[in-house]
């Protein structure tokens, strides 16, 4: 009985240590909300997003208004901020996201190497946290009630498809001006195809998929790339915007094949802002349609999870987990009999043993 208890305790303790490490890793993913708790969020769009986060990342961190002490790059790898409100007005971020203390904490967080996922109206935080000049703030904005429609709203990751060589209308295609981002990690495992109203490959994000009506609020907070004055050189407005802001345009409206609109952008680290930021201001990424069932909700969830996972690996705090994981993988294996007696690896007789390596314990059979 004593030996059995000893073995059981060893397995449980090691399993607990392994789970704790996974739980701690998940805890470095956070969402900043505008209410005291997820349950208290009145805006149904923001509530749906936050509810998915806490259900999916059960060990994730929720940051409520005033909890600026949690905004720490040494503890959090990534913070997601989702703001999606009707009649907010361009530039009028809710006070709970834009008060001086919160903005200052976020500015320090990204300067120190923390990463951000900014979606919908939250893309307007980019200049406030010091990542872009205010003159490059999102200039395509809508926050009305929207309306009903039967089409699917899509995301296109092929920037400049006009020059891909697949467009029969362009007899002088320039492949150097075609940017295909479909292999980027944020698009992994998303449903895609050429059957959603465009001749190029797109990711459907919102629609019933069967021709029935759905109500979409049509809230965009993104970039008209033709609306800026650039000092940087580039072959087109996408390249100029990228060169000016050290970023990469990863996605646009599904029906756009040229360089006019940027919907998803990865802002890369700079000398002053060491953290990566992904900004997604596309209307098609809506979490809670008022009417109709979104057949492509899985794509929205997968895109969001991919963005969080991608950013999580780039956060400063990720280094702690990477070192911890590496230590576990490289640690020497130790073997015990089922009675809890340690046995040298080169003296294993036929039988069943418990192999302990780092924080992981597994049973092995020697024949």
47-81 pLDDT tens trace: 999 999 999 999 999 999 999 999 999 999 999 99
What is the pLDDT, as a whole number, of residue 330? 57
- The per-residue pLDDT for 154 is 98
- 209 vs 195: CA distance, rounded Å: 11
pLDDT-derived band at 22 (thresholds 50, 70, 90) equals: very low
User: From its phi and psi, is residue 366 left (phi > 0), alpha (psi between -120 and 50) or beta?
Assistant: beta
Q: Is the pLDDT of residue 322 over 60?
A: no
The predicted model scores a pTM of 0.82
In 3D space, the residue among 80, 34, 132, 76 whose CA is nearest the CA of residue 307 turns out to be: 80
Q: Is the confidence at residue 324, as pLDDT, over 70?
A: no
Percentage with pLDDT > 70 across the chain: 87
CA 322 to chain centre: 19
Instruction: State whether residue 242 is helix, strand or coil.
Output: helix
Which has the higher per-residue pLDDT, 40 or 355?
40
Cα–Cα–Cα angle for 284, 286, 287, nearest 5°? 150
Give the pLDDT of residue 9: 36
Average pLDDT in the chain? 89
Average pLDDT over residues 202-218: 97
- How far is 82 from 162, CA to CA, in rounded Å? 32
Q: Give the separation between CA 120 and CA 286, rounded to whole angstroms.
A: 9
Q: Who wins on pLDDT, 331 or 196?
A: 196
Instruction: Inform me whether the pLDDT recorded for 331 exceeds 90.
Output: no
**Residue 360 binned pLDDT confidence (cut-offs 50, 70, 90):** low
- Percent of the chain surpassing pLDDT 90: 76
CB 247 within 8 A of CB 262: no
The candidate with the shortest Cα–Cα distance to 156, out of 102, 90, 204, 214, is 204
Q: Kindly indicate the confidence band of residue 319, based on its pLDDT and cuts at 50, 70 and 90.
A: low
Query: How much is the pLDDT for 318?
Result: 65
For residue 339, the model assigns a pLDDT of 55
pLDDT at 139 over 90: yes
- Angle at which helix 297-312 crosses helix 44-56, to 10 degrees, equals 60
| Average pLDDT of the segment spanning 100-122 | 98
Per-residue pLDDT, 343 = 75
């Amino acid at each position: 009985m004593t030996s059995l208890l000893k073995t059981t305790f060893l397995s449980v303790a090691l399993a607990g240590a392994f789970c704790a490490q996974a739980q701690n890793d998940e805890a470095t993913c956070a969402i900043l909300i505008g209410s005291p708790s997820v349950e208290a969020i009145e805006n149904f769009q923001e509530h749906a997003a936050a509810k998915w986060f806490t259900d999916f990342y059960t060990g994730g961190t929720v940051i409520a208004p005033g909890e600026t002490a949690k905004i720490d790059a040494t503890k959090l790898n990534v913070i997601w901020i989702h703001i999606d409100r009707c009649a907010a007005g361009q530039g009028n971020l809710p006070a709970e996201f834009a008060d001086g203390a919160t903005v200052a904490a976020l500015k320090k967080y990204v300067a120190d190497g923390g990463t951000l996922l900014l979606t919908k109206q939250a893309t307007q935080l980019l200049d406030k946290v010091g990542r872009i000049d205010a003159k490059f703030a999102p200039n395509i904005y809508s926050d009305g009630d929207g309306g009903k429609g039967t089409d699917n709203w899509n995301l296109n990751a092929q920037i400049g498809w006009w020059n891909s060589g697949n467009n029969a209308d362009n007899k002088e295609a320039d492949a150097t001006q075609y940017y295909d981002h479909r292999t980027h990690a944020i698009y992994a495992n998303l449903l895609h195809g050429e059957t959603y109203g465009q001749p190029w490959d797109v990711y459907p994000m919102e629609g019933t998929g069967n021709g029935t009506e759905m109500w979409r609020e049509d809230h965009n907070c993104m970039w008209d790339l033709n609306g800026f004055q650039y000092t940087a050189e580039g072959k087109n407005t996408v390249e100029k915007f990228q060169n000016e802001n050290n970023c990469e345009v990863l996605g646009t409206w599904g029906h756009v094949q040229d360089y006019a609109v940027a919907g998803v952008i990865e802002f890369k680290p700079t000398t002053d802002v060491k953290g990566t930021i992904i900004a997604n201001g596309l209307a098609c990424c809506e979490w809670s349609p008022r009417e109709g069932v979104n057949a492509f909700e899985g794509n929205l969830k997968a895109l969001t999870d991919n963005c969080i996972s991608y950013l999580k690996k780039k956060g400063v705090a990720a280094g702690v987990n990477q070192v911890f994981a590496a230590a576990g993988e490289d640690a020497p294996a130790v073997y015990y009999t089922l009675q809890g007696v340690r046995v040298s690896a080169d003296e294993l007789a036929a039988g069943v043993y418990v192999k302990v390596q780092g924080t992981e314990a597994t049973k092995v059979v020697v024949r």
